Structures are given as structure tokens and as C-alpha cells.
Structure 1
């Protein structure tokens, strides 16, 4: 279980690192765009991302990953 968590965290860090390394200007524009979204909408988007991630993890675990 701990190995799977480390693998998942490593994959997230790889993707995040690639975005910052390859397109830092896009990250800055995305942050500016996020500031223009009301906090309630950001919270809703975050919850949707959380639920989507949980569903994907559950699905992957159910399929034998």
C-alpha cells in the first residue's frame, strides 16, 4: 500500500515538474485566471477534482492495479 502511494505521489510530481519546466509562462497565466474565479467556484472545482481522482483510484484498484 505504501509503495502504491509513493508511486502515485511520484507520478504527480513528475507531471507537475514537467509543466513548470516546460511552460512556466502558462502556469503564471493559469494562476492569474484562477485569481479571477470566485472562491466558491474554486472550491467546487477542487471538490470535483477530488471526487474524480477518488473514482479513478478506486477504478484502477478494482481493475487490479
Structure 2
């Protein structure tokens, strides 16, 4: 579990780069995402969770 906090810190850094470097484009991106159907967002979220879980499994092994 020693990897959890550094991993969360890296996620925060990566997620913060968009609003920090290109705030206007980031705002337009969020507006576009917010207009997508709920099922489409769930599919994207599920795919990202699966990809992240598989990646983590291979990186830890």
C-alpha cells in the first residue's frame, strides 16, 4: 500500500495540467463532455477503469 499515495499524487498532477496550462480549451472540453449522453460517459468511464486495472496489474507484476 506504499504506492497508493504517490499514485494519487501523480493523478492530481496530471489532472491539474489541463486547467493550469490551457484553461479556456479545458472549459470548452468540459462543456462538450457535459453534453454527452449518460450511457456514453459510463462506457468511457468503464473502459478507463478496465484499462487502468489491467495496466496496474501488469506494472505491479
Question: Same-fold call, TM > 0.5?
Answer: yes
Report the alpha carbon displacement of residue 18 of structure 1 after superposing the two structures with TM.
Answer: 1.5
Give the unaligned 5+ runs of structure 2: none
Q: Which residue of 2 aligns with 1:54?
A: 53
CA distance in 2, matches of 1:45, 1:28: 19
Distance between the aligned counterparts of 2:40 and 2:11, measured in 1? 24
What's the TM-score, normalizing by structure 1?
Answer: 0.86
How many residues matched? 61
| Corresponding residue for residue 26 of structure 1 | 25
Query: What displacement does 1:17 show?
Result: 1.6
Q: Which runs of 4+ in 1 moved over 4 A?
A: none
RMSD between superposed Cα atoms in Å? 0.9
Q: Which runs of 5+ in 1 are unaligned?
A: none
TM-score by length of 2: 0.90
1:37-48 equivalences in 2 (<5 Å):
37-48=36-47
